[in-house]
Chains A and B, each alone.
Chain A
Amino acid sequence: DVKVTQSSRYLVKRTGEKVFLECVQDMDHENMFWYRQDPGLGLRLIYFSYDVKMKEKGDIPEGYSVSREKKERFSLILESASTNQTSMYLCASSPTTGTENEKLFFGSGTQLSVL
């Protein structure tokens, strides 16, 4: 089974802190994604990456950056956390080819609270 692991289930940070959310997948997938999920708004794409060191902005990239130094790891960085970044953050991966290349495999999520 594909496994997407997010480093923390719950995280509490203070306004202005730099926050790192880590995601690791074990199936050699090319594509990796960061979404945030808020009640009533669904999942919104922050950034995605289709290869090592490659990144593309999603729909709501402001206030975030990402890093993909290795194929299996995709990090989301909040440069200066703000209260409106309190949310559930979901990492996902998918292959570029093969029978499963159109579905996303998600991690369990990180619930981030910024105080």
Chain B
Amino acid sequence: SQKIEQNSEALNIQEGKTATLTCNYTNYSPAYLQWYRQDPGRGPVFLLLIRENEKEKRKERLKVTFDTTLKQSLFHITASQPADSATYLCALDSSGGYNKLIFGAGTRLAVHP
């Protein structure tokens, strides 16, 4: 069956460092992969989309890589700030059309001053 895995343990880092979150998937060949941010008690908010033919994508302090051979995406936040503390969700196109996404369980990031 289709499966997406993200680090279940919280990631604790010091302010100013680079945070790296991992998303692994099996039994998929997604056309694209997305990352969302979710704050406690709120719905997820879209951050970045990367397509299968793209190796890397950047947006301000965010960088996403997509390795279709390894079936893995890495999400980096450089110069992290306490305001970056949140849960980050990886989502894949399920290939079922209509933008049906399948989500990982998310990784909680805590950035300490």
Which residues on A are within 8 Å of B, measured CB to CB?
A: 4, 9, 31, 33, 35, 40-45, 48, 50, 56, 58, 90, 92, 94, 96, 101-109, 111
Contact = CB atoms under 8 A, between A and B. Distances in A.
B98 A43 contact: no
Interface stretch (B59-67, B75-83, B99-107): B99-107
Contacts of A33: 100
Determine which residue in A44, A56, A102, A107 has the highest number of CB atoms from chain B within 10 A of its CB, and name it.
A102
B49 A103 contact: yes
Given A40-B8, A42-B105, A101-B99, 9 more contacts: A9-B41, A42-B89, A45-B102, A50-B98, A102-B32, A103-B99, A104-B44, A108-B42, A109-B42
Interface in B43-67: 43-46, 49
B109 interface: no
A40 B100 contact: no
Q: Give the interface centre of B34, B45, B99, B100 by most chain A CB atoms within 10 Å.
A: B99
A9 B106 CA distance: 21
**Interface SS, A side:** strand
Interface of B: 4, 8, 32, 34, 36, 41-46, 49, 89, 91, 93, 98-106
Given A42-B104, A42-B105, A48-B100, A103 B43 contact: no
The 3 closest A-B pairs by CB, nearest first: A106-B43, A42-B105, A43-B103
Q: Which of B8, B93, B98, B102 has the most CB of A within 10 A?
A: B98
Nearest to A95: B99
Q: Which of A90, A104, A109 has the most CB of B within 10 A?
A: A104
Contacts of A92: 43
B99 A94 contact: yes
Contact of A48 (B41, B45, B98, B106): B98
